[in-house]
Amino acid sequence: MALTPERGSAGGATGGSSGGATGLRDGASGSGALVPSGGPGAVAEPLVVPNTLWRAADPAAYRGGPGGLEHAHLAEVERSGIAHRDDARWGALEVIPTKADLVLDLLRANSLWPLLSGLACCAIEMMSSATSKNDIDRWGMFPFRASPRQADVLIVAGTLTTKMAGPLLRLWEQMPEPKWCVAMGDCTCSGGRYKRSYSTIQGIDRIMPVDVYVPGCPPRPEGLIYGMMKLQQLILERRGRWTERRVGPSVPAGI
Amino acid sequence: MTSDERRTSAPEAPYEIPAHPSADDPRVVLDRELGVFEPVPPYPPRTEREAEFYTLRDGEMLLNMGPQHPSTHGVLRVVLKIRGEQVVDLDPVLGYLHRGVEKLCENADYHQTIAYLDPLEYVSSLFCEWPAVMAFEKLLDVRVPRRAEYIRVLTGELLRVASHALFMGWMALDLGGLTPILWSFIERDEIVEMLASITGQRMLFNYYRIGGVNGDLNHEFMSRLGDWMSRATAQHEANTKLLNENEIFVRRMRGLGVMDRETALRMCWTGPNLRATGVPFDLRRTHPYSVYPELEFDIPTRSEGDCLARYLIRLDEVKQSLRIIDQCLHEMPDGPIMAKLPRLLRPRPGRAFAAVEGPRGEYGIYAISDGTDQPFRLRIHDPSFIHLQSVGLLMPGNLIADTMAVMASLDPIMGGVDK
Amino acid sequence: MDHQLRERLAARLGDRLLGPVRQRHDETEIRIGPGDVPDVLRTLHDEPEFRFRILADLAGVDTGTVMQVVYHLWSDATPDWLRVIVDGLPREDPRCPSVTFLWKGAEWMEREAYDMFGIVFEGNRDLRRIYMPPDYTSFPLRKDFYLPDDAARSPAVGIRHLERTHAPQEAPGGVVRRAKVV
Task: Round to whole Å and give the CA distance between C77 and C68.
Answer: 27
Determine contact, residues B215/B199, Cβ cutoff 8 Å: yes
Residue type, C172: P
Domain extents for chain B?
101-418
Task: Round to whole Å and give the CA distance between B114 and B101.
Answer: 11
pLDDT of residue A177: 77
Inform me whether the pLDDT recorded for C137 exceeds 90. no
Inform me whether the pLDDT recorded for C155 exceeds 50. no
CA atoms within 13 A on the CB side of B161: 30
Residue type, A70: E
More confident residue, C169 or A193: A193
Q: Is A198 on the interface with C (CB under 8 A)?
A: yes
Q: Which residue of A has its CA nearest to C152?
A: A196
Of B276, B217, C56, B105, nearest to A197 by C-alpha is B105
Q: Which residue of C has its CA nearest to A163?
A: C133
pLDDT of residue A97: 58
Q: Is C149 on the interface with A (CB under 8 A)?
A: yes
pLDDT of residue A240: 75
pLDDT of residue A242: 73
At the topology level, CATH places domain B101-418 in Cytochrome-c3 Hydrogenase; chain B (1.10.645)
More confident residue, C176 or A48: A48
Query: Is the CB of A198 less than 8 angstroms away from the CB of C131?
Result: no
More confident residue, A138 or A20: A138
Q: Is A22 on the interface with B (CB under 8 A)?
A: yes
Element (H or E) spanning B65, and its range?
strand B61-65
Indicate the residue of C57, C128, C181 with minimum beta-carbon distance to B364: C57
Classify residue B24 by its DSSP letter. Answer: T
CA atoms within 13 A on the CB side of A54: 5
pLDDT of residue C104: 92
Burial B67-87 (b: 16+ CB within 10 A, else e): bbbebbbbbbbbbbbbeeebb
Q: pTM for this structure? A: 0.81
Q: Is C168 on the interface with B (CB under 8 A)?
A: no
Q: Please report, rounded to a whole number, the percentage of residues in chain B having pLDDT higher than 70.
A: 89
Q: Is B404 on the interface with A (CB under 8 A)?
A: no
What are the backbone dihedrals phi and psi of residue B271, each rounded to the nearest 5 degrees, phi first? 80, -160
Domains, in order of start, for chain C: 3-152 (3.30.460.80)
* Residue A60's pLDDT band (cuts 50, 70, 90): low
| Domain count for chain A | 1
- The answer to whether residue A227 sits within a structural domain is yes
Question: If contacts are CB pairs under 8 Å, which of residues 136-165 in chain B contact chain A?
Answer: none
Q: What is the 3-state secondary structure of chain A?
A: CCCCHHHCCCCHHHHHHCCCCCCCCCCCCCCCCCCCCCCCCCCCCCCCCCCCCCCCCCCCCCCCCCCHHHCCHHHHHHHHCHHHCCCCCCHHHHHCCCCHHHHHHHHHHHCCCEECCECCHHHHHHHHHHCCCCCHHHHCCCCCECCHHHCCEEEEECCCEHHHHHHHHHHHHHCCCCCEEEEECHHHHCCHHHCCCCCECCCHHHCCCCCEEECCCCCCHHHHHHHHHHHHHHHHCCCCHHHCCCCCCCCCCCC
Inform me whether the pLDDT recorded for A10 exceeds 70. no
Task: Round to whole Å and give the CA distance between B68 and B96.
Answer: 10
- The answer to whether residue A187 sits within a structural domain is yes
Task: Round to whole Å and give the CA distance between A147 and A150.
Answer: 6
Inter-axis angle of helices B400-410 and B307-331, to 10 degrees? Answer: 20
> How does pLDDT run across C33-70, given as a tens digit for each residue?
999 999 999 999 999 999 999 999 999 999 988 999 99
Query: Is the CB of B371 less than 8 angstroms away from the CB of C180?
Result: yes
| pLDDT of chain B, 419 residues: tens digit per residue | 333 343 344 334 444 444 433 344 334 334 444 444 555 555 567 788 888 888 778 888 888 888 888 775 888 998 889 988 899 998 898 989 999 999 999 888 899 999 999 999 999 999 999 999 999 999 999 999 999 999 999 999 999 999 999 999 999 999 988 899 999 999 999 999 999 999 999 999 999 999 999 989 999 999 999 999 999 999 999 999 988 888 999 999 998 989 999 999 999 999 999 999 999 999 999 999 999 999 999 999 999 999 999 999 999 999 999 999 999 999 999 999 999 998 888 998 999 999 999 999 999 999 999 888 889 999 999 999 999 999 988 888 899 888 889 999 999 999 999 98
Q: What is the mean pLDDT of residues A67-80?
A: 61
Of B252, B311, B234, nearest to B276 by C-alpha is B311
* Residue A192's pLDDT band (cuts 50, 70, 90): confident
- The answer to whether residue A82 sits within a structural domain is no
Q: Is C152 on the interface with A (CB under 8 A)?
A: no
Of A44, A37, A38, nearest to A21 by C-alpha is A44
- The answer to whether residue A92 sits within a structural domain is no
Task: Round to whole Å and give the CA distance between A254 and B255.
Answer: 54
Q: Is B42 on the interface with A (CB under 8 A)?
A: no
Residues with Cβ within 8 Å of B330's Cβ and at least 6 positions away in sequence, in order, are none
* Residue A96's pLDDT band (cuts 50, 70, 90): low
Q: Which residue of A has its CA nearest to B70?
A: A146
Domain that holds residue A209: 104-240
Chain centroid to Cα B141, Å, comes to: 29
Q: What is the mean pLDDT of residues C87-107?
A: 92
Residue C77's alpha-carbon distances to B143, C11, C55, C82, in angstroms, are 27, 16, 14, 11
Q: Which residue of C has its CA nearest to B141?
A: C25
Inform me whether the pLDDT recorded for C181 exceeds 80. no
Of C139, C14, C23, nearest to C81 by C-alpha is C23
For residue C107, the chain B residues in CB contact (below 8 A) are 389
- The answer to whether residue A1 sits within a structural domain is no
Residue C166 distance to chain A (closest CA, Å): 23
pLDDT of residue A84: 66
Residue B107 distance to chain A (closest CA, Å): 10
Indicate the residue of C147, C157, C159 with minimum beta-carbon distance to A198: C147
Of B202, B232, C180, nearest to A126 by C-alpha is B202
- The answer to whether residue A255 sits within a structural domain is no
Q: What is the mean pLDDT of residues C22-26?
A: 89
Question: If contacts are CB pairs under 8 Å, which of residues 92-131 in chain C contact chain B?
Answer: 102-109, 112, 116, 125-131
Probe site for chain C from B34, B98, B263, B417 (most C CB atoms < 10 A): B98
- The answer to whether residue A251 sits within a structural domain is no
**CATH value at residue A193:** 3.40.50.12280
Query: Is the CB of C59 less than 8 angstroms away from the CB of B379?
Result: yes
Residue A27 distance to chain B (closest CA, Å): 13
Q: What is the mean pLDDT of residues A227-255?
A: 71
